[in-house]
């Protein structure tokens, strides 16, 4: 074997090793960033049963240019869902519907429907990721925790859980001002509830 051929083999091997290391480092950084976001948005520490975390941040529309929204999808056991619910003042939602890219939700109190919606996907500039399967669910539990935060910002945290498949979606939506609250009493912006809004069917 000639010297040049040996050098070529060594060079090719080095490139392959370098590529594998870069992929591994990138994967670890992505996993670390995803885990950090989960802990910041959902709960800290991450429950042991949580796996296969997917994260998306839908871009704001021109209407809600001051909004910040995160959508997370993850596998989780029922007992760890209870930990999330205990971590904040979650209230069970009475109606949920996803239509034309908007997540509609409502609470019924004393015969009055208080409804709101969050624009997520299905616009010219926002498409749902392949893992976003919430619109196809027919049986699930739905909860919301909302509050006014510092600087006159309104934050809604929504949890949807399908016990049959062991999958949850978590949506955090924060905007400036008292927009879209269904539980808070500080001048919430209320949208008209859809006639087709369905009641979650989880226990």
Q: Which residues pair with 146 in a beta bridge?
A: 156
Lowest-pLDDT range of 43-52, 116-125, 132-141, 186-195:
186-195
Per-residue pLDDT at 107? 84
Closest CA to 108 of 88, 93, 124, 125: 93
Mean pLDDT computed over every residue of the chain: 75
pLDDT band at 20 (very low <50, low <70, confident <90, very high): very low
Q: CA 35, CA 41: separation in Å to the nearest integer?
A: 10
Alpha carbons 121 and 93: distance in angstroms, whole number: 21
For residue 194, pLDDT beyond 80: no
pTM: 0.73
CA distances from 64 to 21, 90, 172, 186, 188 (A): 41, 24, 14, 19, 15
Separation in Å, CA 117 to CA 34, 87, 106, 134: 26, 23, 9, 15
Report in angstroms the alpha-carbon separations of 166 from 44, 115, 203: 20, 27, 14
Helix (H) or strand (E) holding 144: strand 141-149
User: What are the domain boundaries of the chain?
Assistant: 1-41, 46-203
Which two tokens mark 35? 């885990």
Looking at residue 57, its pLDDT comes to: 86
- Residue 59's pLDDT band (boundaries 50, 70, 90)? low
């Amino acid at each position: 074997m000639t010297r040049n051929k040996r050098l070529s083999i060594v060079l090719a091997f080095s490139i392959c090793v370098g590529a594998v290391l870069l992929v591994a480092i990138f994967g670890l950084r992505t996993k670390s960033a995803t885990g950090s976001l989960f802990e910041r948005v959902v709960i800290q520490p991450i429950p042991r049963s949580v796996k296969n975390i997917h994260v998306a941040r839908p871009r704001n529309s021109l209407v809600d240019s001051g909004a910040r929204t995160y959508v997370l999808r993850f596998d989780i056991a029922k007992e760890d869902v209870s930990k999330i619910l205990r971590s904040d003042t979650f209230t069970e939602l009475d109606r949920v519907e996803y239509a034309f890219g908007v997540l509609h939700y409502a609470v019924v109190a004393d015969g009055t429907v208080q409804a709101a919606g969050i624009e997520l996907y299905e616009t010219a500039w926002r498409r749902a990721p392949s893992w976003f399967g919430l619109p196809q669910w027919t049986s699930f539990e739905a909860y919301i925790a909302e509050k006014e935060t510092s600087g006159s910002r309104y934050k809604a945290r929504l949890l949807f859980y399908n016990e049959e498949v062991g999958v949850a979606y978590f949506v955090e939506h924060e905007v400036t001002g008292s927009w879209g609250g269904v539980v808070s009493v500080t001048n919430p912006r209320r949208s008209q509830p859809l006639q087709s809004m369905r009641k979650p069917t989880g226990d």
